[in-house]
């Protein structure tokens, strides 16, 4: 009864037979027997044509939100084939080898960026190249394989695969590669398909037809479970199914506590596709638009026009609701090919607002110009400053904003722009009152991903110390308590946009501290709103927060929160505690 643990890409739980979905990956494409022929370009054109047919077939039953992505795939495939033809022609090599070479060239540049954000998009390129390679080798996609009522286990899956799985009634997906924000994962979430990613899964230990429990609530895959386990899981499935329709309904209601405190549940997005999907998922607005992707996929910074188009699109999806655009948080884990920085310790180096002010002409000014234009035409935008540590950084941003404003009307209007500081460093957390005293700040948004790393001195991406990384550590909660109460005294709005806001046990603590806005992963909106609707905000300070602040360690604070939620009758939340 092997059990594998992985990362949850889409929540859910199911019991079903396994089907192994083995598609040759582009990295493993065998090219040693391949010779150059005069028809290499024609073969590539033929593969492209077949791929485009597959995309348009997929489009027919793809959800509205995925159509734009499929169109982007077509454009990427076209340029990939163009470059491959040129290489095959110049180097006199076969189409397969040329395709592999072109793919590997891009993979290397994606890798050397060192960014997890870009690595996720690499999955898109890999899937397009693999599909083209299959057509070159005369293989049809695995469209004949029936996945109905089965759990698909694969090394990797493409977004088009997942769209097809959804149509066929798949019970779940497990892959070794991929990321939780890949398109495949986004589509799985949109279609309620449980999906986990298990990098160290051993495919050779799994057979077609093996019964498995895919528990994408606790992130495990149990192959050939015993009778008792199956029985337990059947109960869990039934409970989850019941809860799911409630969560779906919760997503579309305004979140308020039992004592009528209204909480904004906003969403975090990275690009226009995610914004479009989020706009139909119950988000009360956008609490964090991570614009960095626009900067990291180019060999020079995006111009004002590109940024303006992106901002206005998101503003339109959320007409009449708040959209918080974060100024690009570049440097450290989001390096730029066009600003090479040689730093011993980039997380303590030139990143976020520091880099923006240093490269004000090249990066910050065009960004602010695009922001001001988009705000003038749509009116629902807010500006968020990343990695602030000093009052000076806020003042300098205010000065730059006034300089950037083109006319006196715009200059006047800038004084009404809602600027917020992202509290991601202990310095900003402790100086929140002084930041507010600048008069420029209307809100703060706690970036708990970085705030946890800087408070606990734990690199957020380092597996060796990941056991120490926990937002419910009383040290972080104490810092939040000091900081949030300073912010509330200054009457500035308080939101949280780090991953913490999406986590069930953190929600009552944050509300108890006085937080009024949570910006979460779009897939968690229903769950977070449901938890909010079950809490009595006026009891949380005394009954919960005072106790967790007095905990000696994270195990104790987690225990206190779990006991509290169970004591108020929220047994159904057990899978998340």
Binding site for ligand PEP (CB under 6 A): 288, 290, 329, 424, 447-450, 497-498
Which listed option, Mg ion, ligand PEP, none, makes contact with residue 159 (CB within 5 to 8 Å by class)? Answer: none
| Least distance from ligand PEP to the Cβ atom of residue 446, Å | 7
Q: Is residue 559 flagged as an active site residue?
A: no
Min dist. Cβ of residue 294 to Mg ion (A): 17
Which of 141/498 has CB closer to ligand PEP?
498
Of the two residues 447 and 514, which places its CB atom closer to ligand PEP in the complex? Answer: 447
Strands 381-385 and 322-326: parallel
- Residue 269 CB, nearest distance to Mg ion (Å)? 15
- Whole-angstrom Cα distance, residue 313 to residue 275? 9
Name the minimum Å distance from CB 211 to Mg ion: 42
**What does 269 interact with, of Mg ion, ligand PEP, none (CB < 5 to 8 A by kind)?**
none
> What is the binding site for Mg ion (CB under 5 A)?
424, 447, 450
- Chosen from ligand PEP, Mg ion, none, partner binding at 414 (C-beta under 5 to 8 Å by type): none
Closer of 40 and 329 to ligand PEP (Cβ): 329
Q: Which is nearer to ligand PEP, 80 or 278 (CB)?
A: 278
Instruction: Please state, in angstroms and rounded to a whole number, the distance separating the CA atoms of residues 172 and 222.
Output: 13
Minimum Å gap between C-beta 372 and ligand PEP is 23
- Measured CA to CA, the distance from residue 373 to residue 405 in angstroms comes to 9
CA distances from residue 162 to 22, 101, 123, 435 in whole angstroms, order as listed: 14, 27, 14, 47
**Shortest CB 326 distance to ligand PEP, Å:** 8
d(CA 132, CA 126): 10
Phi, psi (degrees; rounded to nearest 5) at 425: -125, 150
Buried b vs exposed e over 219-231: b needs ≥16 C-beta within 10 Å?
Answer: bbbbbebeeeeee
497 carries an active-site annotation:
yes
Question: Of ligand PEP, Mg ion, none, which one sits near residue 284, judging by CB under 5 to 8 A according to partner kind?
Answer: none
Q: Which of these is catalytic: 94, 183, 267, 283?
A: 183
Nearer to Mg ion, 124 or 471 (CB): 471
Q: Which is nearer to ligand PEP, 448 or 557 (CB)?
A: 448
Active-site residue identified among 34, 94, 267, 497 = 497
Quick one: what does residue 302 bind among ligand PEP, Mg ion, none, with the CB cut-off 5 to 8 Å set by partner type? none
Q: Which of 437, 506, 514, 454 is nearest to 483 (CA)?
A: 514
Query: What helix, strand, coil percent values describe the chain, rounded to 5?
Result: 55, 15, 30
User: Nearer Cβ to Mg ion, position 14 or 268?
Assistant: 268
Contact 131, 123 (CB under 8 A): no
Q: Which does 25 bind (CB under 5 to 8 A by kind): ligand PEP, Mg ion, none?
A: none
What DSSP line would sit under 244-301, residue for residue? HHHHHHHHTSPEE-TT--EEEEEEEESSHHHHHHHHTTT-SEEEEEETHHHHHTSSSP
Shortest Cβ distance from residue 536 to ligand PEP (Å)?
A: 28
Q: What is the 3-class SS of 8-31, one letter each residue? A: EEECCEEEEEEEECCCCCCCCCCC
Strand pairing of 285-290 and 262-269? parallel
448 binds, among Mg ion, ligand PEP, none (CB under 5 to 8 A by kind): ligand PEP
DSSP 414: H
Question: Catalytic amino acids?
Answer: 183, 497
């Amino acid at each position: 009864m092997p059990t594998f643990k992985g990362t949850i890409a889409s929540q859910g739980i199911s019991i079903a037979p396994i089907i192994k979905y083995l598609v040759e990956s582009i990295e493993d494409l065998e090219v040693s027997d391949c010779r150059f022929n005069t028809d290499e370009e024609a073969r590539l054109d033929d593969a492209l044509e077949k791929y485009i047919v597959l995309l348009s077939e997929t489009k027919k039953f793809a959800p509205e939100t995925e159509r734009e992505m499929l169109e982007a795939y077509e454009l990427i495939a076209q340029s990939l084939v163009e470059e491959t033809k040129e290489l095959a022609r110049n180097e006199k090599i076969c189409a397969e080898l040329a395709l592999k070479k072109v793919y590997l060239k891009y993979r290397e540049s994606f890798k050397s960026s060192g960014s997890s954000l870009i690595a996720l998009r690499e999955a898109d390129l890999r899937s397009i190249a693999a599909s083209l390679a299959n057509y070159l080798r005369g293989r049809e996609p695995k469209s004949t394989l029936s996945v109905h009522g089965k759990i698909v286990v694969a090394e990797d899956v493409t977004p088009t695969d997942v769209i097809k799985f959804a149509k066929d009634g798949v019970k779940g997906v497990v892959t070794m590669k991929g990321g939780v924000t890949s398109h495949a994962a986004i589509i799985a979430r949109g279609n309620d398909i449980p999906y986990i990613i298990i990098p160290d899964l051993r495919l050779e230990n799994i057979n077609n037809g093996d019964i498995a429990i895919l528990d994408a609530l606790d992130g495990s895959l149990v192959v050939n479970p015993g009778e008792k386990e199956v029985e337990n899981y059947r109960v869990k499935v039934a409970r989850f199914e019941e809860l799911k329709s409630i969560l779906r309904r919760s997503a579309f209601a305004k979140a308020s506590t039992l004592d009528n405190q209204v909480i904004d549940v906003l969403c975090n997005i990275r690009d226009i596709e995610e914004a479009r999907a989020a706009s139909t998922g119950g988000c009360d607005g956008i609490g964090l638009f991570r614009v960095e992707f626009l900067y990291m996929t180019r060999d020079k910074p995006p111009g004002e026009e590109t940024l303006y188009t992106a901002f206005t699109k998101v503003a339109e999806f959320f007409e009449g609701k708040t959209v918080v655009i974060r100024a690009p948080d570049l440097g450290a884990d989001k390096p730029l090919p066009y600003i090479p920085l040689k730093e011993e310790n980039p997380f303590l180096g030139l990143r976020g607002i520091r880099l923006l002010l240093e490269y004000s002409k090249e990066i910050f000014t065009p960004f602010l110009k695009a922001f001001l234009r988009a705000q003038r035409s749509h009116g629902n935008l807010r500006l968020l400053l990343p990695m602030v540590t000093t009052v000076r950084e806020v003042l300098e941003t205010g000065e730059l904003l006034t300089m950037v404003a083109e006319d006196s009307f715009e200059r006047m209007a800038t004084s009404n722009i809602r600027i917020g500081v992202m509290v991601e460093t202990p310095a900003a957390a402790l100086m929140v009152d002084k930041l507010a005293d600048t008069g420029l700040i209307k809100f703060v948004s706690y970036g708990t991903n970085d705030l946890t790393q800087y408070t606990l001195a734990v690199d957020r991406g380092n597996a060796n110390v990941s056991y120490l990384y926990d937002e419910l550590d009383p040290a972080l909660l104490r810092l939040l308590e000091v900081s949030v109460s300073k912010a509330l005294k200054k009457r500035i709005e308080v939101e949280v946009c780090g991953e913490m806001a999406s986590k069930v046990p953190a929600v009552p603590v944050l509300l108890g501290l006085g937080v009024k806005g949570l910006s979460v992963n779009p897939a968690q909106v229903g769950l977070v709103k449901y938890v909010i609707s079950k809490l009595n905000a006026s009891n949380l300070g005394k009954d919960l927060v005072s106790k967790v602040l007095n905990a000696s360690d994270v195990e104790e604070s987690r225990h206190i929160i779990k006991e509290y939620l169970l004591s108020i009758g929220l047994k159904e939340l057990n899978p998340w505690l």
